[in-house]
Structure formats: structure tokens, C-alpha cells
Amino acid sequence: MSTELSQWLHDLSQGDERAAQQLWELYFEKLVRLAKRKMEGLSLRSADEEDVALSAMNSFCRGLAAHRFDEIAGADELWKLLVTITARKVSAQRRLHFAQKRGGGRVRGESIFDSNDRLGIGEVLGREPSPELAVGFAESCREMIDSLEDETLQKIVLLTLEGYRTPEIAEKLGCVRRTVERKLQLIREKWGQNEP
């Protein structure tokens, strides 16, 4: 291993931010390209190739600080390790994507709609909601939005409900797309905590 790389890894394991920056500059874009290739054909809303590369770099830095990667013998070995971590992150995103697509284990068959008079899903979908149901739904939405308490989070939810996409929301709020994505993740987490 080059003495420079060896020094960076040593410094990084000691928490040196300059060493982290140097490794970041050397490897981050390569990891983004790698993640993009591996995620090709996968339409992911929860994470993109930059998120995956960022997560891989973060895992590597934490592992290095915990001395799990003390045996790295050279630049080739370091690259192989970063590729492995990135590939695992992509696999995790792929599993998450397809689990969510399948309903995350909460999908039920048409039998859920059966009753004494044997109504199928076609009958349920063909009906308009009652006024009581529509009001109840609107109230539930308002309660969920109000539970966020942060005005920016509320604006993001409302803009999303109006059909705006993440880049459009970022433009309207005067921030970058990544900020909106992080806030959307925070919203999901907050609402997920309120589930029974």
C-alpha cells in the first residue's frame, strides 16, 4: 500500500476529517458510477446512486474507526472492499424496493373484501366513498400533517399531495433536492412511529 494511502487510512481511523475528505475525493464519484450501473433498470424513489455511495462511504468510515478493516493491504484491496460494501447497499435497496412494491408483507388477497353477500374487489372499487368516509379521511390526513409540527415538513407533504415531484418541491422551497429527500424520509419515520 502506498504510504500516502496508508497514512490516510490511519488518520481516518483516528477521526481525521481531512483524511476522510481525501478518500471521499478519490473514491466517491467512482462509487456513484458503480452504484448507478448496479441500480440500472430499478426505479427507486427512496434512494439513488448518490445515496448508496454515501451510505457505503459512511459504513466504510465507521468500520475503519471500529478497526474492522485494519488488514487492508493496498489500494486494490481497499477498492474491492468499497465495491463489496456498495454492492451490498444496492442489494439492500433492491430488496427494500421489491418488498415495498409487494406491499411490505401487508398485501392481502381479494378474500379480504368478501362478506356475507360475497362482494368482491370489483364491487368495492366501483363504489364512491360515503360523505362520512370522505370527511373521516380528510380529518385523518389533516391530523397526520398537523402531527409533523414543522411548517416545512407540512409544506412538503402538501406539495407532494398536489402532485409535485421532489425537484419541483426543492425549487419551490428554495433548497436542494437532497434536502427534500431527507425531509421526506424524516416524515416517513415520524409517521411510521405512529403506526399501531
- Give the pLDDT score at 106: 53
Rounded CA separation 78/76 (Å): 5
Rounded CA separation 34/30 (Å): 6
pLDDT tens-digit profile of 109-159?
A: 544 444 454 444 444 444 555 566 666 666 777 788 888 888 888 888 888
| pTM score over 0.75 | no
Helices (H) and strands (E) in the chain, counts: 9, 0
CATH label, 3-101, candidates 1.10.357, 1.10.3470, 1.10.510, 1.10.1740: 1.10.1740
Q: Where in the chain is the domain with CATH 1.10.1740?
A: 3-101
- Residue 32: name the closest of 16, 53, 17 by CA: 53
Between the alpha carbon of residue 142 and those of residues 70, 138, 167, the distances in Å are 52, 6, 24
Mean pLDDT of 155-170: 86
125-191, what's its fold? Arc Repressor Mutant, subunit A (1.10.10)
pLDDT tens-digit profile of 58-112?
A: 888 888 777 787 778 778 888 888 888 888 888 877 777 666 655 554 555 544 4
